[in-house]
Amino acid sequence: MKVVSFFSGLGGLDKGFLNAGYDIIWANDFDKFAVATYKANFGDHIVLGDINEIPLAQIPDCDVLIGGFPCQPFSMMGEQKGFEDARGTLFFRVAKILEDKIKRGKKPAAVILENVRSLKTHDKGRTYQEIHRILTEVLGYKVFCEILNSADYGVPQTRNRTYIVGFASQEAEFSFPEKVPLTCTLQDKLEAEPGEKYFLSERILPTILSDGTGGYKARSEIDLTVARPLCATMAKMHRACQDNYVTQKGRVRRLTPRECARLQGFPDSFIIPVSDCQAYKQFGNAVTVNVAEALARSVRDTLTDLGAWRDA
Q: Which of 71, 231, 241, 260 is catalytic?
A: 71
Strand order in the sheet with 142-149: 46-48, 23-29, 2-6, 64-67, 110-116, 160-167, 142-149
The one-digit pLDDT tens for each residue of the chain (312 residues) are 999 999 999 999 999 999 999 999 999 999 999 999 999 999 999 999 999 999 999 999 999 999 998 755 544 444 544 345 444 468 889 999 999 999 999 999 999 999 989 888 878 888 899 899 999 999 999 999 999 999 999 999 999 999 999 999 999 999 999 999 999 999 999 999 999 999 999 888 888 887 765 565 667 789 999 999 999 989 887 766 789 999 999 999 999 999 999 999 999 999 999 999 999 999 999 999 999 999 999 999 999 999 999 886
Compute the distance between CA of residue 184 and CA of residue 182 in angstroms, rounded to an integer: 6
Query: So what's the pLDDT on residue 154?
Result: 98
Query: So what's the pLDDT on residue 216?
Result: 57
Angle at 239 between CA 248 and CA 69, to 5 degrees: 105
**277 a catalytic residue:** no
Look up the pTM and report it.
0.92
- Output the CA torsion sign for 119, 120, 125, 129: positive
Q: What are phi and psi of 143, to 5 degrees?
A: -110, 140
CB 199 within 8 A of CB 184: no
Query: So what's the pLDDT on residue 60?
Result: 98
Domains and their CATH numbers in the chain: 2-172+288-305 (3.40.50.150), 186-282 (3.90.120.10)
Compute the distance between CA of residue 296 and CA of residue 310 in angstroms, rounded to an integer: 14
Compute the distance between CA of residue 288 and CA of residue 163 in angstroms, rounded to an integer: 12
- Output the CA torsion sign for 161, 167, 170, 173: negative
Compute the distance between CA of residue 72 and CA of residue 284 in angstroms, rounded to an integer: 12
Q: What are phi and psi of 239, to 5 degrees?
A: -140, 160
Pick from 35, 181, 166: which is nearest to 91 by CA? Answer: 166
Give one DSSP letter per residue of 115-167, joined into a string.
EEGGGGTGGGGHHHHHHHHIIIIIT--EEEEEEEEGGGGT-SB--EEEEEEEE
